[in-house]
Structure 1
């Protein structure tokens, strides 16, 4: 199974990258690629730029990675209740590729974490509403509040037993979905 793990942040110390990396490590017998938003930096989207220069190659490269995946793990950083600017720009450009829907109906496990008590719930809610309009096949969601209290940065594991069990249970469910899809 090929997993594409996307952290919707361009922070060098992204907590969402830590979460999505941990979640990916829980899937057995998977080939995992972690996507770094910094590898997909593009000019800020505007229609005139698209008309003059077309869709940047970076957006096409991400689309190819999405299409090659059997499962998407997406953990979104929350900035002011919604996507980070870095993620939103990549999303916008990828949505402009003619003849494609951004997520291409690939099964997706959508996650978020934050240092506060809501754990990125705002961005998770926004993405849960928006992504299906772009062929987002969300099969499960997860949020981790109080990241600094609930994630051990030395071992890269969720230290809150209840949240760790919840994540593992959801990973089992999405792994079962993928096995069914392979048949």
Structure 2
């Protein structure tokens, strides 16, 4: 099973990337590809640029990565209650190729933050819009207080309730 995992942020040391990677690796028989959205950076989307540039190769490549996956694991960072600018831009460009950019793939949506909110606002937004973009959401999990619930040295969750929630979602794949 090909699992595409990524954090919806451009941070190189992203806690969301660690969470996405951890979750993807819990899937039995998974070939995990941990994607860095920095590899898909493009100019800010607007209609004028779209007329000028058409569909950028990086947006097409990202769309292809989504299409090649059997399962998609995304962990959303939250900037001021919403998507990061880097992810939103990539999402906007890619959705112009095909609004159904998730291509009816099973998706696990996660979020985390250092604080107790666990980036729950952006996760709720992503979940609410998912049907419009052909994401078959198998479950959503917000991990609050990341550093209290994740062992950085061993790369794993330490909170058994959160581990159980992730494993429960994985059984739905």
TM-score when normalising by structure 2: 0.96
Q: Which residue of 2 aligns with 1:180?
A: none
Deviations 1:38-84 (A, max 9, x none): 10100000100000111111110010011111111111111111111
Q: Which residue of 1 aligns with 2:69?
A: 69
Alignment RMSD: 1.1
1:92 aligns with 2:92: yes
Q: Which residue of 2 aligns with 1:145?
A: 144
1:169 Cα deviation (Å)? 2.3
1:137 Cα deviation (Å)? 1.3
1:165 Cα deviation (Å)? 2.1
C-alpha distance in 1 between matches for 2:171 and 2:149: 21
2:60 is paired with a residue whose SS is: helix
Task: Structure 1 unaligned segments of length 5 or more: list them.
Answer: 175-183
C-alpha distance in 1 between matches for 2:94 and 2:53: 14
Q: Which residue of 2 aligns with 1:41?
A: 41
Q: Which residue of 2 aligns with 1:179?
A: none
Q: Which residue of 2 aligns with 1:123?
A: 122
Aligned residues: 173
1:100 Cα deviation (Å)? 5.1
Deviant stretches of 4+, over 2 Å: none
1:173 Cα deviation (Å)? 2.5
Q: Which residue of 2 aligns with 1:173?
A: 172
1:95 is paired with a residue whose SS is: helix
1:163 aligns with 2:170: no
Deviations 1:125-152 (A, max 9, x none): 0001112111121111111000011111
1:78 is paired with a residue whose SS is: coil
1:109 aligns with 2:125: no
1:35 Cα deviation (Å)? 1.1
C-alpha distance in 2 between matches for 1:126 and 1:136: 13
Deviations 1:65-116 (A, max 9, x none): 111111111111111111111100000000111x552111111111111111
Higher mean displacement: 100-109 or 139-148: 100-109
C-alpha distance in 1 between matches for 2:87 and 2:32: 20
1:11 aligns with 2:11: yes
TM-score when normalising by structure 1: 0.91
Task: Structure 2 unaligned segments of length 5 or more: list them.
Answer: none
